[in-house]
Amino acid sequence: MSELFAFADDYGPAKVVAIHHPKASLKAILVVDNVAAGPAIGGARMAVDVTYEECFRLARAMTWKNAAAGLPHGGAKAVIFADPTMPEADKERTMRAFARAIEPIADYVPGPDMGTNEACMAWVTDEIGRAVGLPRVIGGIPLDEIGATGFGLATAAEAVAATGRIMLDGARVVVQGYGAVGRHAARFLDERGAQLVAVSDSRGAIRHDDGLDLDALDTLKADGRSVADLDHGVAISADDLIGVPCDIWIPAARPDVLSGANVDRLDTKLFLQGANIPATLDAEQRLHERGILSVPDFIANAGGVICGAVEFRGGSERAAFDVIAQSIGRNTKEVLERSLTDNAPPRTAALAMAGERVRTAMRFRQ
Ligand code: NAD
């Protein structure tokens, strides 16, 4: 059996398309994993070193994320084997050739991902009339600018607070990675009475137990400086950030930052996953044993994909916020209840929930 089927199971992939267009120097792979709930939405990633395996795994992750968010969309991913820093005119040619190649795959709707952006999605739309993550002038909702994912994280925290396991008013928050996700999560939590007490970026970390000034942090970042340059607080090491006592610890940077080696230093009540796969599976299991609640990435950080789905239907920014609030609030509550009933880590509960939704949708298809 071909190795292309190495990952095939009852859920997918539905289609694997290899695209080769020598004249346009285009080599790409599209994995449409599952379309039972509706057309698959998934990022088109541009990088020189991506693999088919990575593409498949990311496509499956999108199946779970879209199903968990309750969206009428399946999961897919495309990878374009090219250097994303190529000159703009070459990038436009590559994206337009990619768009024409995927045009017949009507159940795939591309979105921006690593190496692609709003302009790339505008070129795709110009060619084939479909993509999400578009510039605002042509109907896009700029999800990083409005803080869609950070808002979703704050909504998940509210759902946890509703169970009595944390209180948002006066909650102490630590954020790893003060970028699009981390910055907005801190701001939306601040609006709910919480206080950011420590934060990091790729160049340093800072702690201030009386609360960090968010406006001052934003100004520093806008000037291209590090959060560690703040004039109040104490600079700490990136590693020390893990052990800062708090109520909510938010990873919003890199994968696998929490592992078996450092999970026992975490001193928090809620591990709220902004980044994708921020903890290893053994670390998640250990959090569960220690009674630290963890809201999995594909539940907590779904604000961005929900925003894309609302945009796809021509919805407004206001509608996107409403759907994010409803959907992430409801899903976080359900995952916590299942986790409690089954005495299983929240990730196990969330996967069971997403799997059930996909299987239910599959029963309506031939
Ligand atoms: P971003 O590039 O805007 O911000 C990332 C931040 O993390 C930057 O401040 C960077 O300096 C910092 N950083 C990088 N390496 C670090 C390290 N080792 N330690 C501490 N800080 C570090 O990216 P983003 O859009 O905010 O995405 C952050 C994470 O969230 C990624 O894992 C991404 O896949 C995930 N995510 C993003 C969205 C979204 O809507 N943007 C949605 C879902 C998941």
Report pLDDT digits (tens) over 71-80. 999 999 999 9
- Position 275 pLDDT exceeds 90: yes
- Position 45 pLDDT exceeds 70: yes
Q: What digits encode the pLDDT tens for the residues 246-262?
A: 999 999 998 899 999 99
**pTM as predicted:** 0.92
- Position 6 pLDDT exceeds 90: no
Tokens of 160: 């946890």
Pocket test for ligand 1, best of 181, 187, 220 (most atoms within 8 A of CB): 181
Q: Which of 189, 143, 185, 144 is nearest to 278 (CA)?
A: 185
Backbone angles phi, psi at 157, to 5 degrees: -60, -40
Write down the mean pLDDT value for the chain: 95
Atom of ligand 1 nearest to the CA of 274: 30
Question: CB neighbours (10 Å) of residue 138?
Answer: 11
Distance 197 CA to ligand 1 centre (A): 19
Q: Round to whole Å and give the CA distance between 357 and 65.
A: 11
- Position 1 pLDDT exceeds 70: no
Atom of ligand 1 nearest to the CA of 179: 4
The set of residues, in sequence order, having a beta carbon less than 8 Å from that of 238 and lying 6+ positions away, is 176, 200, 204, 205
Q: What digits encode the pLDDT tens for the residues 185-218?
A: 999 999 999 999 999 999 999 999 999 999 999 9
The mean pLDDT value for 322-330 works out to 97
Q: Which of 326, 311, 361 is nearest to 135 (CA)?
A: 311
- Position 69 pLDDT exceeds 90: yes
Q: In the chain, pLDDT over 90 holds for what percent of residues?
A: 93
Confidence of residue 4 (pLDDT cuts 50, 70, 90): confident
- Position 44 pLDDT exceeds 80: yes
**Cα 18 from chain centroid?**
26
Q: In the chain, pLDDT over 70 holds for what percent of residues?
A: 100
Distance 359 CA to ligand 1 centre (A): 32
Active site residues: 77
Written in H, E and C, the secondary structure of the chain is: CCHHHCCCCCCCCCEEEEEEEHHHCEEEEEEEEECCCCCEEEEEEEECCCCHHHHHHHHHHHHHHHHHCCCCCCEEEEEEECCCCCCHHHHHHHHHHHHHHHCCCCCEEEEECCCCCHHHHHHHHHHHCCCCCCCHHHCCCCHHHHCHHHHHHHHHHHHHHHCCCCCCCCCEEEEECCCHHHHHHHHHHHHCCCEEEEEEECCEEEECCCCCCHHHHHHHHHCCCCHHHCCCCEEECCCHHHHCCCCEEEECCCCCCECCCCHHHCCCCEEECCCCCCECHHHHHHHHHCCCEEECHHHHCCHHHHHHHHHHCCCCHHHHHHHHHHHHHHHHHHHHHHHHHHCCCHHHHHHHHHHHHHHHHHHCCC
Determine which residue's CA is closest to atom 8 belonging to ligand 1. 179
Distance 303 CA to ligand 1 centre (A): 14
Atom of ligand 1 nearest to the CA of 143: 40
Confirm if 274 and 185 have CB atoms less than 8 A apart.
yes
The mean pLDDT value for 129-133 works out to 96
Determine which residue's CA is closest to atom 42 belonging to ligand 1. 304
Q: Round to whole Å and give the CA distance between 293 and 311.
A: 32
Distance 274 CA to ligand 1 centre (A): 8
pLDDT for 164 equals 96
Distance 253 CA to ligand 1 centre (A): 4
- Ligand 1 environment, Cβ below 6 A: 143-144, 149, 176-182, 200-202, 238, 252-254, 274-276, 301, 304
Tokens of 22: 């020598």
